[in-house]
């Protein structure tokens, strides 16, 4: 699959189909249901998800929470800068995306909001506008006052309630973007799933801004995907393995849950040392792999040719052209079927991207 081209994952989307605001209530969005075995496509609403799940199935979602990572400040010269925190490297040191002119090493950035002031010094310049910043004090406890939640670049309408860019089960602070497939769930829907006998479990993957970046290289396999921190606990690993052994299906909520789960399956197969290479192998002797608990970075890049070891069904949103997320969807659902599903979604005026509608791939 090294010859797979990035332009095979391009499509034209009318701009008016990019959802600018979330629907109310959360489960009012539409749900496209795609059957891989038959190729059938059905049009439902998200609350109808219960019709497709059975007692004993296990639904696994990402409980990462978006941090108020967008900071506004000024340079010592008075010029405005925008800082988007990407990754905490130490107590006072962060990797960040910095927008502003001539923000060089040793430049000082002054950030003030709601009566709180901090100063950051640029200690290293990285590629693509990224910088290593060292703050004059730890800012993690101050982010609620200093920052605001960053919205994706294609959303231009301010969000009235910041919690609408969080899932109702978000718990672990650390993401620069929401795991958007989970935005459709309501507390009532989660209770209804439990009452039906569906097992609910949670993993964590802290999402970086690379999730919004189109793949820029000509050949998919050459894309340098960035590592993201993920965690799957021993208790959740036990739940998943028991459910699978009992005949339940594993339904992943979102591409981040898929990456976490398939990383855990690769680790159980002893292939964790080189995920990019191991991910394309079909070496398993059984039709599925148990998952192994882990806590650490994953650089798993899933694109057509990937051998899925544990995920049976996928609940996801509609993704950007030429994105690694769209490539994962094509790997799971099949390239031709997913191309047809997206064409149907555009024709049927589905809402796309973070605040858009959902797709269930069976």
CATH number of the domain residue 230 falls in: 3.40.1780.10
Residues 78 and 97 occupy one common structural domain: yes
Residues 179 and 247 occupy one common structural domain: yes
pLDDT at 167: 98
* DSSP summary character for residue 347: H
| CB distance 43 to 32 below 8 Å | yes
Q: Read off the pLDDT of residues 100-123 as tens digits, 9 standing for 90 and up.
A: 888 999 999 999 998 999 999 999
Pure H helices in 40-186? 143-146
Last residue of one domain, picked from the residues 112, 146, 180: 146
pLDDT at 285: 44
Q: Give CA angle at 11 (157, 99), nearest 5°.
A: 45
Residue percentage of the chain with pLDDT more than 90: 80
pLDDT at 278: 52
Residue 1: inside a domain: no
Q: Give CA angle at 106 (138, 153), nearest 5°.
A: 70
Looking up tokens 């900071």 gives 71
Q: What is the CATH number of the domain that holds 107?
A: 2.40.10.240
Residues 95 and 198 occupy one common structural domain: no
Residues 95 and 76 occupy one common structural domain: yes
Residues 292 and 185 occupy one common structural domain: yes
Q: Which domain holds residue 302?
A: 6-66+162-361
The Cα–Cα gap between 220 and 9 comes to 10
Residue 167: inside a domain: yes
Residues 17 and 110 occupy one common structural domain: no
Ranges of residues in the chain with a pLDDT under 50 are 1, 273, 283-285
Residues 34 and 60 occupy one common structural domain: yes
Strands 130-135 and 116-125: antiparallel
Residue 152: inside a domain: no
| Token code pair at residue 189 | 């829907």
The Cα–Cα gap between 332 and 67 comes to 30
Last residue of one domain, picked from the residues 121, 146, 171: 146
- Cα of 257 vs its chain's centroid, Å: 8
Give the residues across from 360 on adjacent strands.
33, 315
User: What crossing angle do the helices spanning 255-268 and 324-333 adopt, rounded to 10°?
Assistant: 70
Last residue of one domain, picked from the residues 89, 120, 146: 146
Residue 156: inside a domain: no
The Cα–Cα gap between 49 and 39 comes to 18
DSSP string over 235-281: HHHHHHHHHHHTTPPEEEESHHHHHHHHHHHHHHTT-GGGHHHHTT-
Classified as helix, coil or strand, 172 is strand
pLDDT at 279: 52
Residue 314: inside a domain: yes
Q: Read off the pLDDT of residues 243-257 as tens digits, 9 standing for 90 and up.
A: 999 999 999 999 999
Residues 181 and 231 occupy one common structural domain: yes
The Cα–Cα gap between 95 and 131 comes to 6
Residues 229 and 288 occupy one common structural domain: yes
Q: What are phi and psi of 292, to 5 degrees?
A: -115, 135
Residues 183 and 129 occupy one common structural domain: no
Burial class from Cβ neighbours inside 10 Å (0-12, 13-18, 19+) for residue 195 reads exposed
Residue 157: inside a domain: no
Split into its structural domains, the chain has a count of: 2
Residues 319 and 221 occupy one common structural domain: yes
| Token code pair at residue 142 | 């101050």
Residue 202: inside a domain: yes
Residues 29 and 116 occupy one common structural domain: no
The Cα–Cα gap between 133 and 122 comes to 5
CB count, 10 Å around CB of 274?
Answer: 10
pLDDT at 1: 44
């Amino acid at each position: 699959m090294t010859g797979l081209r990035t332009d095979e994952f391009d499509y034209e989307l009318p701009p008016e189909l990019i959802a600018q605001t979330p629907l109310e209530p959360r489960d009012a969005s539409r749900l496209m249901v795609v059957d891989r075995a038959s190729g059938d496509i059905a049009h439902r609403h998200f609350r109808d998800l219960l019709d497709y799940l059975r007692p004993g199935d296990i639904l696994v979602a990402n409980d990462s929470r978006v941090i108020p990572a967008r900071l506004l400040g000024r340079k010592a010269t008075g010029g405005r800068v925008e800082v988007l925190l990407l990754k905490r490297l130490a107590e006072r040191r962060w990797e960040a995306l910095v927008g502003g002119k001539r923000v060089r090493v040793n430049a000082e950035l002054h950030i003030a909001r709601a009566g709180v002031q901090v100063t950051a010094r640029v200690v290293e310049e990285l590629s693509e506008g990224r910088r290593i910043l060292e703050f004059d004090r730890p800012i993690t406890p101050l982010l609620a006052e200093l920052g605001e939640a960053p919205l994706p670049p294609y959303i231009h309408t301010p969000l009235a309630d910041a919690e609408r860019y969080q899932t109702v089960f978000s718990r672990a602070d650390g993401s620069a973007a929401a795991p958007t497939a989970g935005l459709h769930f309501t507390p009532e829907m989660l209770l209804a799933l439990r009452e039906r006998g569906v097992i609910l479990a949670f993993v964590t993957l802290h999402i970086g801004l690379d999730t919004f970046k189109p793949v820029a290289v000509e050949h998919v396999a050459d894309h340098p995907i960035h590592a993201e921190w993920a965690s799957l606990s021993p208790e959740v690993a036990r739940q998943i393995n028991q459910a699978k052994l009992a005949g339940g299906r594993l339904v992943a909520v979102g591409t981040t849950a898929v990456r976490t789960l398939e990383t855990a399956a690769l680790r159980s197969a002893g292939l964790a040392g080189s995920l990019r290479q191991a991910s394309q192998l079909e070496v398993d002797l059984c039709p599925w792999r148990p998952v192994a608990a882990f806590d650490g970075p994953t650089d798993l890049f899933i694109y057509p040719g990937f051998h899925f070891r544990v995920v049976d069904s996928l609940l996801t949103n509609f993704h950007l052209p030429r994105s690694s997320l769209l490539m994962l969807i094509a790997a799971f659902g099949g390239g031709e079927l997913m191309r047809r599903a997206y064409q149907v979604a555009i024709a049927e005026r589905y809402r796309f991207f973070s605040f858009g509608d959902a797709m269930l791939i069976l």
